[in-house]
Amino acid sequence: MVSHRLTGEVNALKCLQKAHLIRTKQQDNVKREKAAMQVMDHQFIVQLRGTLSDSNQVYLLLEFLSGGELWSLLYENKESGLGGGPWGGMELNTCMHFAAMCVSAFEHIHSKKYCYRDLKPENLLLGGDGYLKLADFGFAKKLPYTDVNTGKSEDRTFTLCGTPEYMAPEIVLSRGHDSGVDFWACGILIYEMLCGTTPFEAGSQQETFERIVYSQRYLRFPLGFDPHAKSLIRKLLESNSALRLGALRGGVEDVKEHLFFSATQLDWEALKRREIKMEYVPQERERAGDGVGGAGESSSFEGEGVVEEYEAGEDGDTFWDF
């Protein structure tokens, strides 16, 4: 967390060591993250305010959100957070609003011809007003894209990426995937928000993958589960990507018009204008002792000790244009 020396405006500074990125072969992912975030402009997506580079690190200057991760509020801060729902997770109406924000963000991301591919509670941040924003575009992929080997335009990608419990069957089976995997992940998220666990969680990754591939066999709901939520989750967790809600002719409008949202007459435009009062509003954090100086003071943040020295290769600094 950093503050502007003159205005005092607080932002989040994501610091990445060049040497570590090179060693773990993540340099292309970081460049793709930058490229994706530069074209995003939406109420429910974290804003990229700028990028920087020095001799050893690259930086992403991001909008700061004071409410923390959705994951922490679901699992670590249940007493003061979002627990207490009837099925082990949050209340139905709160879940509905959060899911609507994700759907709205995906509508924008897909309109920019990107596939997000990394939805999970850790990548959803809350602002002080209780609204969510999607963060971390490290796995975002431009679709269609040009294959560097063949020069052909491809509308599906085969990369195995994401969080195992959120992966769609076509990712697990390496059959090629498109933006439809985001709607599958949205179904997983709604289930986790309401139940406090993911639907295909297992003792090992291999067993989790098996349950995902045979999802209709393993998908179970708690007794008395909301019928509209159950219907939406089943349609989003359709193993055949061509039949999945969101991937049909109606596109994202099919999702937005589902009874899970429409039964309460959710006003999508009012939601985007942030005119709906959220049921849960995080308490403002105390600024004292948070390491952020006032106007005119040096910005500071917690680091990991000594920065690993970066040595440019024969072609120079890989991140020269960051």
Helix (H) / strand (E) containing 2: strand 2-3
The 8-class DSSP code of residue 198 comes to: -
Q: Which residues contact 60 (CB under 8 A, 6 or more apart)?
A: 13, 14, 16, 33, 34, 37, 48, 51
Helix (H, G, I), strand (E, B), or coil: what is residue 71? helix
Catalytic residue, chosen from 28, 118, 129, 321, is 118
Question: Would residue 118 show up in a list of annotated catalytic residues for this protein?
Answer: yes
Whether omega before 144 lies within 30 degrees of 0, making that bond cis, reads yes
Q: How far is CA 241 from the centre of its chain?
A: 20
One-letter amino acid of 52 = L
Count CA atoms closer than 13 A to 196's CA, side-chain side: 18
The answer to whether the beta carbons of residues 133 and 127 sit under 8 Å apart is: yes
* CA-closest candidate to residue 234, choices 219, 249, 251, 252: 219
Q: Measuring CA to CA, how many Å separate 6 from each of 52, 64, 143, 293?
A: 19, 17, 41, 11
Q: Which residues are catalytic?
A: 118
